[in-house]
Amino acid sequence: MTSKTEAPTRRIVLQEWERRGPESDGALAGVVLEGRDCEAAIRDLHARGMLRVAELRTGVEFRSTSFVGHVRIGTVDVTVRPKIGWNGLLRLAKYAYGISAVHIGPHLDIALERDSLADLLVLQLCLEARSLAARGRHRSYRLQRVVLSVPRGRLDVPRLAAREVSARPGLPCVVRPRSEDVLLNRVVLAGLRLGARMATTPDVRGEAARTAAMWEQDVCDLRLDGHLLQRAVREVNRLTENYRATLRLVDALLSGTGASLDDDNRQLPLQGFLFDMNRFFQHLLSRFLHEFLDGFTVRDEHLLRHMLSYAVGANPRRRMAPTPRPDFAIHRDGRTVALLDAKYRDLWETTLPREMLYQLTTYALSQPRGFEAAILYPSLDERAGVQRIEIKDPTTAQVRSTVALRAVPVGMLGEMLSGPTTSTQRTYCRRLARFLALGL
């Protein structure tokens, strides 16, 4: 009797925006991805722009996008590495998320797998959660209606008058005890449980499980999704500001599983973790501009209202008019001085996709003549300079507006922001913020 042997696992390593197929990698020749799980994963990965997989006659072709991390599809393990390297990414993540450096102290004997970004994020989440617990978890007053033999709080007069109380001794009371079973703590606990499932090494899974056990006392579990996470973020105030970094880590882990607000948070049949560098890059620039662009107001995802609208009497389906939304709008004295979009694609090495150009053209034409909209993109090339595209009137050839492409030196930025900044570094960051926002 012969037993069916499993096909050997193939490990493929790509960088962002790289193509790898049977012609360039012999390991992919003759590979066949079969089964419903593979088909569903390929379809959803493509729909979300995480990874493009094409099954060819000669094998399988992979095309990476702005997502980095690790995913397994059938018999193929795919790792997508960031061009700035894992260390560079972690330095920038420390600043963008406002977290302490990812470190492994003597109290945590963690053996991290190579390129395991999910493990590093889970470990950092455990450290942040333990720090919150040590400082004291947030508590809030919760209304409870109970029957007490020794009354406290206030009497529940309606229930007493309606004789809803059972024969057991006591009086109905309304009390408001302070409880740790609040949404913020529930989301942290759910994030730790998610991290325990996502971790790839036993040590990290165990650390996440032990940290979750610390939080599950007096805190109920919930099914985490993007809507609940957004609710928790909106509840953060000056009293709970120390939860913000932890919620950002939970958001990074949740989005890496394929959860989305656009389809009721249905998660991918994904074996792995893919980190959205485009979303991360926008978050990084948001904090950088808010902190270092002195004298200006920065507004994230600013809506250009009333720019586009359906003509009167020409909207039979009664649809909402499209509203352009740049990633950043820079204002001064109530006037818009710059509209910016963050695009995680090195436009110094690659050509400008027409979709990006058309998008920025719309932003530029939404403002008075002579306005310049800009794309901010990452680059490791020190020679990367400003590129400008003029938008001209086709009849007079006069310049109407411009679109600028400005490179963000992510390597240098990571070094500047990875630790305590000196006065010289802060001066550099202010100049860089002014250049990125205004081109000055």
Burial class for 209, CB neighbours closer than 10 Å (0-12, 13-18, 19+): middle
Query: What's the confidence (pLDDT) of residue 269?
Result: 52
The Cβ-side half-sphere exposure at 431, using a 13 Å CA radius, reads 8
Query: What's the confidence (pLDDT) of residue 288?
Result: 94
Query: What's the confidence (pLDDT) of residue 46?
Result: 86
The encoded tokens of residue 59 equal 């094998």
pLDDT, tens only, 122-153: 888 998 899 898 888 888 877 777 788 788 77
**Could you please report the per-residue DSSP string of 51-106?**
EEEEE-SSBEEEEE-SEEEEEEETTEEEEEE-TTHHHHHHHHHHHHTT-PPP---T
Strands of 144-148's sheet in order across: 144-148, 171-175, 154-155
- CA distances to 9, 50, 60, 258 from 76, rounded to whole Å, are 6, 16, 10, 19
**How are beta strands 67-73 and 271-276 bridged, if at all?**
antiparallel
DSSP helix/strand/coil, 327: coil
∠ CA 404-406-407, nearest 5°, is 155
The encoded tokens of residue 243 equal 């939860």
Query: What's the confidence (pLDDT) of residue 107?
Result: 45
Under a CB-based contact definition with an 8 Å cutoff, are residues 337 and 438 in contact?
yes
Query: What's the confidence (pLDDT) of residue 26?
Result: 75
Under a CB-based contact definition with an 8 Å cutoff, are residues 341 and 375 in contact?
yes
Cα–Cα distance between 440 and 429 in angstroms, integer? 13
Cα–Cα distance between 78 and 129 in angstroms, integer? 30
Cα–Cα distance between 295 and 301 in angstroms, integer? 20
Dihedral sign for Cα 361, 367, 369, 375, please: negative
Residue in 135, 133, 139, 136 with CA at minimum distance from that of residue 215? 133
**Could you please report the per-residue DSSP string of 168-197?**
SS-EEEEE--EES-SHHHHHHHHHHHHHHH
pLDDT, tens only, 179-228: 888 899 999 999 999 999 888 788 888 999 999 999 988 888 888 888 88
DSSP helix/strand/coil, 375: strand
Query: What's the confidence (pLDDT) of residue 166?
Result: 57
Query: What's the confidence (pLDDT) of residue 108?
Result: 47
Cα–Cα distance between 11 and 114 in angstroms, integer? 13
Residue in 234, 240, 223, 219 with CA at minimum distance from that of residue 142? 219
Residue in 275, 284, 252, 309 with CA at minimum distance from that of residue 124? 252
Q: Length of the chain, please?
A: 440
Give residue for tokens 């000196």: 422
Under a CB-based contact definition with an 8 Å cutoff, are residues 267 and 258 in contact?
yes
Per-residue pLDDT of the chain (440 residues; tens, 9 = 90+): 444 455 667 888 888 888 988 887 777 877 778 777 788 888 888 888 889 988 888 888 899 998 988 888 888 888 888 888 887 887 888 888 776 555 544 444 455 455 567 787 888 899 889 989 888 888 887 777 778 878 877 887 777 777 655 556 787 888 777 788 889 999 999 999 999 988 878 888 899 999 999 998 888 888 888 888 988 988 888 888 889 888 988 988 888 776 654 444 455 556 778 888 998 999 999 999 999 999 999 999 889 988 889 999 999 999 999 899 999 999 999 899 999 999 999 999 999 999 999 999 999 999 999 999 999 999 999 899 999 999 999 999 999 999 999 999 999 998 888 777 788 889 999 999 999 999 98
Q: Which residues pair with 47 in a beta bridge?
A: none
Query: What's the confidence (pLDDT) of residue 44?
Result: 83
Residue 222 has what DSSP assignment? Answer: -
The encoded tokens of residue 35 equal 């089964």
